[in-house]
Amino acid sequence: MSDLYLRLVNTPVGRTAAQSLGLPAPAPLKRLKRTDQPFIEGKVLIGAANGGKAIATLGSILGASAATLHHASESNRLADSSKAGNKARPLDLASDINQQFSALVFDATGLKGPADLRALYDFFHPTIKKLGSNARVLVIGQNPASCRKAPQAAAQGALEGFVRSVGKEIGKKGSTANLLWMAPGAEKQLDSSVRFFLSARSAYVSGQVVKVGKGNAAPATNPVAPLTGKVALVTGASRGIGAAISETLARDGATVIGLDIPPAMEELEKVTSAINGKALACDITDDKAPKLIADFIEEHFGGVDLVIHNAGITRDKTLGNMPEHFWDMTIAVNLTAEELIDEELAKRELMKENGRIVCISSISGIAGNFGQTNYSTAKCGVIGYVEAMARQLKNGITINAVAPGFIETRMTAAMPVTIREAGRRMNSLSQGGQPVDVAEAIAWYCSPASNGVNGNVVRVCGQSLIGK
Ligand code: NAD
């Protein structure tokens, strides 16, 4: 779907007109072009507060991206991916600080109380204006709920407000800011999340907090095709976000079973045949659906690694005007079917070890929306389901959700023009996301290296103003 305003405002005349009228001038977002490109290019400045536990790991992740590490002090380092092979040298703050950075990464795990928050100012104040466009800010902290002392919880909790505000300040240049909460001892699990949040794959993800736990040991993966040998089930795969998820998981090496309702078979087969996948006609609300899906998986593959519950519908009406079948259908497709399919796959032991379940919530589920009590109820139910299941699943299986904001699909193209324009602009990046943005977040959850990423709900919404 096309955002005409975004294209216009990025012409010289359009930019000048937008500036003089005080209108938003969103920057075009850079998305992944090739899977073998470095996850980040340009210079990355890494800093840490005293006692940071992630700094060494951050150094080696960025070092492994053909970056040269320049030690500024014990805590500040410069990773320069444009000068692979350079020997480390001390960072000269006076001159190096005048360069442009593609990312600022700060290890705040060592913050012990409110006074330590000054370290954020000291690191970001002189550098934030040196960020180029489509740049990244990534802060590593810890979950305040896991802090034993109140001052430490205060400092760690403060990081959320910091990151969300930074996201709003840098969003106009297409840049993002996010926070990882690293559990004690989970340094080795940071890799996949640091790579995702510093790369073009997270173009439309900003202002988010992600829990990274210890999980099973993360295996080494082929970064170009990390899902090689995996079997994925994607529901609602014939179009929109589901088609993008199928294509992205196949790009990363997975064999995809695309599922959709029987009337969508022609479209579905176009998607699955282009990626050498299999098409399965099934209405997930049918009583027989869980068994049919499990039988299909058992017969063709013997098991499944990745289950992506993408199928969804809206049936909007204010509550007093809503016919009961609108309520029932919306809850059945968006929530009940997911639970019943997972239950059947678990009962028949078809979910493989280190498997992944991903559910699709929505910012409407988080914030509530006029005329969408049924949809918001279902999508918020998804969050409750994910959080409970994350505590119960065994064998290294994880479950997470994405909560898309305004994504350019047929669903949003059908909106009245004023609501559509508001949806597009009311976020820090002042534009809608693409289906691939949701798919990239799902591919990150699905990576074998994401064993420590469990029980999260990440919004893919450009830091929408809607929601908490
Ligand atoms: P879409 O309407 O383009 O696609 C949904 C797909 O689900 C369709 O192919 C449809 O046939 C299939 N489906 C519906 N009912 C089904 C059933 N009973 N059994 C099997 N398949 C069924 O929607 P989309 O915009 O691509 O949305 C995908 C998911 O993302 C949905 O869960 C939606 O609620 C969610 N979402 C979308 C947006 C957005 O901006 N587009 C925002 C938030 C959340």
Whether 5 is catalytic is no
Q: pLDDT (tens digit, 9 = 90+) per residue, 310-355? A: 999 999 999 999 999 999 999 999 999 999 999 999 999 999 999 9
Q: How remote is the C-alpha of 407 from its chain's centroid?
A: 13
The H-assigned helical ranges of 321-426 are: 324-331, 337-347, 363-367, 373-392, 410-413, 417-425
Angle at 410 between CA 326 and CA 243, to 5 degrees: 100
Evaluate if pTM is beyond 0.90: yes
Sequence ranges of the domains in the chain? 42-212, 231-460
For ligand 1, mutation pick of 257, 310, 385 (most atoms within 8 Å of CB): 310
The answer to whether 187 touches 54, Cβ cutoff 8 Å, is yes
The catalytic residue among 5, 204, 375, 445 is 375
- Say which CATH superfamily domain 42-212 falls into: NAD(P)-binding Rossmann-like Domain (3.40.50.720)
Q: pLDDT confidence of 188, banded at 50, 70, 90? A: very high
pLDDT at 67 over 60: no
Measured in Å, residue 361 CA sits from the centre of ligand 1 at: 11
Q: pLDDT (tens digit, 9 = 90+) per residue, 126-149? A: 999 999 999 999 999 999 999 999
Q: pLDDT (tens digit, 9 = 90+) per residue, 400-431? A: 999 999 999 987 888 888 888 888 999 999 99
| pLDDT score at 422 | 87
State whether the beta carbon of 331 lies less than 6 angstroms from ligand 1.
Answer: no
The answer to whether 198 touches 169, Cβ cutoff 8 Å, is no
| pLDDT score at 1 | 58
**Domain 42-212 identical in fold to domain 231-460:** yes
For ligand 1, mutation pick of 266, 285, 377, 411 (most atoms within 8 Å of CB): 411
8-state DSSP, 98 = T
The class (CATH top level) of 231-460 is alpha beta
**Crossing angle between the packed helical segments 289-300 and 337-347, to the nearest 10 degrees:** 40
Q: pLDDT confidence of 109, banded at 50, 70, 90? A: very high
pLDDT at 193 over 60: yes
Higher pLDDT, 23 or 388: 388
Q: Whose Cα sits closest to atom 9 in ligand 1?
A: 236
Higher pLDDT, 12 or 225: 225
Q: How far apart, in whole angstroms, are the C-alpha atoms of residue 406 and residue 213? A: 29
Q: pLDDT (tens digit, 9 = 90+) per residue, 273-294? A: 999 999 999 999 999 999 999 9
| pLDDT score at 372 | 95
| pLDDT score at 94 | 59
Q: How far apart, in whole angstroms, are the C-alpha atoms of residue 366 and residue 458? A: 11
Helix, strand, coil abundance in the chain, percent, nearest 5: 45, 20, 40
pLDDT at 453 over 90: yes
Q: pLDDT confidence of 68, banded at 50, 70, 90? A: very low
For ligand 1, mutation pick of 235, 409, 415, 434 (most atoms within 8 Å of CB): 409
The mean predicted confidence, pLDDT, of the chain is 91
3-state secondary structure of 315: coil
Partners of residue 360 on adjacent β-strands:
402
pLDDT at 298 over 90: yes
| pLDDT score at 21 | 64
| pLDDT score at 85 | 44
Q: How far apart, in whole angstroms, are the C-alpha atoms of residue 71 and residue 161? A: 29
Measured in Å, residue 379 CA sits from the centre of ligand 1 at: 12
β-strands 77-80, 43-48 pairing: antiparallel
| pLDDT score at 163 | 98
Q: Count the Cβ atoms, other than its own, within 10 Å of residue 175.
A: 27
State whether the beta carbon of 262 lies less than 6 angstroms from ligand 1.
Answer: no
Measured in Å, residue 281 CA sits from the centre of ligand 1 at: 15
In this prediction, residues 384-395 reach a mean pLDDT of 97
| pLDDT score at 215 | 87
Q: Which helix (H) or strand (E) holds 351?
A: strand 351-360
In this prediction, residues 365-382 reach a mean pLDDT of 95
